[in-house]
Structure 1
Amino acid sequence: MLRLANPVRRYAWGSTHALPDLLGTVPDGRPQAELWVGAHPAAPSTVPGAGRALDAEVADRPGAVLGDAARLRFGDRLPYLTKLLAAARPLSLQVHPDAARAARRYREEEAAGLPAGARRYPDPWHKPELLVALAPTVALAGLREPHDAAGLLQALGPRVGAGLRDVLDALRAPGPAEDRVRAALAHVLALPAATVRAVTAAAAGAAHGGPPHGAAAPGRPSPADPAPCDLGAGDPAAGYSALGDPATDPHRLALGLATQFPGDPGVVASYLLHPVALAPGDGLAVGPGVLHCYVAGTALEVMAASDNVLRAGLTDKLVDPAELLAVVDARPGPPAVLRPPPAPVAPGLLRREYAAGADEFALAVLDVDADEPAVVHAAGGPRTVLALSGAVAVATARGRCGLAAGEAVLVPDADGAVLLSGRGRAALVAVPGVDR
């Protein structure tokens, strides 16, 4: 197996303490946003024993590392990327394309010779994602029913309503809900900063004056929203919980977004989305076209290894509302929140399977309290084991490796079955449907 050294990405939205706390390192006062575990060429893990990057190791030994079945489906590359994410500020409001559009638009941009900074599609792959909270985490995902969104915006008052007339008219127009939501989103993304600031001021009044008509009372979730969780002061999400429960008060959540991105249309777009409060262990599956934003928290994230992101706001990166509107799935509905029950697989070993429906990856989180190694994955393909807490040992027919929290190994196809022992929790990421 390949023990990995994994790079930390320092984005401005990262927490200064969450990743160091998890990894047992000393904070240096600068944001640490993501720990990348994989072979993505932008920041590959390294294999200290081989003295080179993991993507080079995969390229040199694709048969041994990936196995024939995974290579046939995805080529000579590791098809997934695993991350630890620590957000103290919101990530961008974004969607990901489906596989067909990603391949087609990539070919078109290649043929046009677009430079890297102007490209929307840097690779030909889609990017399904799965987020599993390790601490209380706040997100926005999935679009509201048009009448619900209209009620929330109208409750901000008649002066604000005049500035949002096109948005409200679109939400209340006749026709399919999907068309109404898409039209409203288009108007929102074109709002001037002055209108966004007026919405922010009204949201501040609504937030501190109690929930307006159409919003759930604090502490009482609406039927469409997941149950709220307590966001403690030590969590990156604490700045949002201080304003109230973001899962039940969209006005307070919008106000929190506006403190980071004043005048950004994404502040108003948040009213069109479902707020989601994820307790530790809750998962959020994000498929093609799902408009979403990770607001704050600490989480495990697994995704297809792609950089195809179309942004709508809450960012200083490239924003392309027209392409986003062409990709977004505007069908209203709550997001897919996963709460799998633990299942015993061996003495001292419990397994939670997160069914994200992705072809590139499958995720299981394992609680381990066992002295004797037990098989947790008998099929083939590349397998990543990332320790999340405690100390676990990974064994195969070819060796054994101990892992502390934040440490990881890649188990090649050629190593056979994966076994775990120890006292701790670990994530196991594999390519689904690959047999030896």
Structure 2
Amino acid sequence: MQLLDNPIRPYAWGSPTAIPAMLGVKPTGEPQAELWMGAHPGSPSGLVGKAQTLLDLISADPEGELGSPCVREFGPRLPFLLKVLAAENPLSLQAHPDPAQAKAGFERENADGIPLSAPHRNYKDGDAKPELICALTDFEALVGFRPPAETLEVVGAFGVRELEPLLAQLREQPDEEGVRAAFTMLMTAPADRRRAVVDAVVAACAGRTEPAAGLASRLGERYPGDAGVVAALLLNHVRLAPGEALYLPAGNLHAYVHGLGVEILANSDNVLRGGLTSKHIDLPELLRILDFTPRPAEILRADDEGRYATPADEFRLSRHVVTGGTEVTLDPAGPQILLCVEGAVAARGETGKVDLTPGRSAWAGAAEGPVTLAGDGVVFRATAGIG
């Protein structure tokens, strides 16, 4: 059992106060967007009291730290990354490829000689990147294309003439192909036409009280003229309560809008963006990998054992409430990271005990055996999804 020293990523959309408040430290005044826990080569967690990182520890003994089943499935690397994500402002509209798309895209860009560090590179590795976000506070997100009938009702109420071709497409073909055609029409229109549509929508939403109007107004103020402002209105607009979660599979167009949450994802850097960003957008590739199936968003809640069920093999997330006088025993589960988000909890395994407070986390390797939690608080456990 080893306490982790975790890096913070200062992305511009991040809250300057939420993660410092969780950690009980003074804000720096700069955005502190994500607290990373894991062995990602770009920002691996350190080991408290040791001059090495979690990446070093795993690289020195993959079988011992990850366990044979994990190494057989994913190779000698930790297959997941755990984060605390603090969104003060919206993240970009984005989606991630499936395994076959990621492998083919990575090989294609390698063959084309595109450097891994190039800003226009789409595929940094050959892996898929499914994600799960679990709310710690009220959490606002956009996730997947919503049913056309809902879009027609919500967006049609704005009475924007410039949107009529898009809405007509959804009326005529209220299915996956209609959504694909409407989204493609919007995103591939000439720049001046896209700008006119966005400006008209933002103007029509001024002073309106519907959630979609408020969303468009906020996005339009931050990203003037960006077609992602209108594209966002085609997506499910979700508000999670603390403890509720969303699973984001390959091809799901999404954006986190505001709030604090625990995110777990496959250890990949493959992102294809579609708007609400100044970063590279490869629209043809995005259109190729997107899942345009319209469906309501599915909000996940923990089962009786605290687990959030997903089909991902790379990770599994569970939430455990620990109360005084009652110990919680976690069965062996391969490599795992324990993150405290509330209260004070002691975690004890075969190799020793660590004390966890909000924002603090610990690594337990595959050989750790059962882990017992005691105290008063809430702990998330991240582990691989196999077995």
TM-score by length of 2: 0.94
- Aligned residue among 185, 188, 191 for 1:190: 188
State the partner residue of 1:47.
47
How far apart, in 2, do the equivalents of 1:30 and 1:85 lie?
15
- From 278, 281, 285, the equivalent of 2:243 is 281
One of 131, 134, 144 as aligned partner of 1:132: 134
1:384 to 337, 345, 351: 337
Paired with 2:347 and 2:297, the residues of 1 have a C-alpha distance of 34
Give per-residue Cα distances to partners, 1:17-71, cap 9 Å, x unaligned. Answer: 1111111010121110000000001111011333112112111111110010100
Task: Give the letter for the 1:186 counterpart.
Answer: T
- Cα distance in 2 for partners of 1:190, 1:89 equals 26
| SS in structure 2 of the partner of residue 387 of structure 1 | strand
The CA distance in 2 between the partners of 1:261 and 1:386, in whole Å, is 34
Q: Deviations over 1:115-170 (max 9, x none)?
A: 2313111011111111011011100112122243234444333xx42x33442343
- TM-superposed deviation, 1:207: 5.1
Matched, 1:261 2:263: no
**2:291 aligned residue:** 329
1:143 matched residue in structure 2? 145
How many corresponding residue pairs? 384
The residue type paired with residue 178 of structure 2 is: R
Conserved 8 A contact 2:13-2:90: yes
Which amino acid letter does the alignment assign opposite residue 177 of structure 1? D
Deviation sequence 1:372-405 (CA, Å, 0-9, x none): 64411x2341011011111111111121111111
- Could you say what the CA RMSD is over the residues aligned between the two structures, in angstroms? 1.8
Q: SS where residue 123 of structure 2 aligns?
A: coil
The match for 2:176 is: 178
Q: Does the residue aligned with 1:334 lie in a helix, a strand or coil?
A: coil
Residue 361 (structure 1) aligns with: 315
**Matched letter for residue 335 of structure 2:** P
- Structure 2 partner of 1:239: none
Alpha carbons 1:11, 1:32 under 8 Å: kept: yes
Report if aligned partners of 1:200, 1:255 keep a CA contact under 8 Å in 2: no
Counterpart of 2:299 in 1: which secondary structure? Answer: strand
Cα deviation for residue 355 of structure 1 reads 0.9
CA–CA distance in 1 between the matches of 2:321 and 2:297? 26
1:87 is aligned to 2:101: no
Unaligned segments of structure 1, at least 5 residues: 212-248, 344-350
Asked whether the equivalents of residues 90 and 255 of structure 2 are also in contact (C-alpha less than 8 Å), the reply is: yes
Among 293, 297, 318, the residue aligned to 2:259 = 297
SS of alignment partner, residue 358 of structure 1? coil
Query: C-alpha distance in 2, partners of 1:66/1:426?
Result: 21
CA distance in 2, matches of 1:361, 1:167: 38
Q: Aligned to 1:363, what secondary structure does the other structure show?
A: strand
CA distance in 2, matches of 1:183, 1:198: 17
Name the % identity.
41
What CA distance in whole angstroms lies between the structure 1 residues aligned with 2:212 and 2:166?
A: 17
1:3-402 aligned within 5 A: 3-116=3-116, 117=118, 118-157=120-159, 160-161=160-161, 163-174=162-173, 177-191=175-189, 192=191, 195-196=194-195, 198-206=197-205, 208-211=207-210, 249-340=211-302, 343=304, 351-371=305-325, 373-376=327-330, 378-402=331-355
Task: Indicate if the aligned counterparts of 1:99 and 1:125 stay in contact, CA closer than 8 A.
Answer: yes
Q: Secondary structure at the match of 2:231?
A: helix
Cα contact 1:39–1:78 (8 A) shared by 2:
yes
Given that residues 258 and 264 in structure 1 are in contact (C-alpha distance below 8 angstroms), is that contact kept between their aligned partners in structure 2? Answer: yes
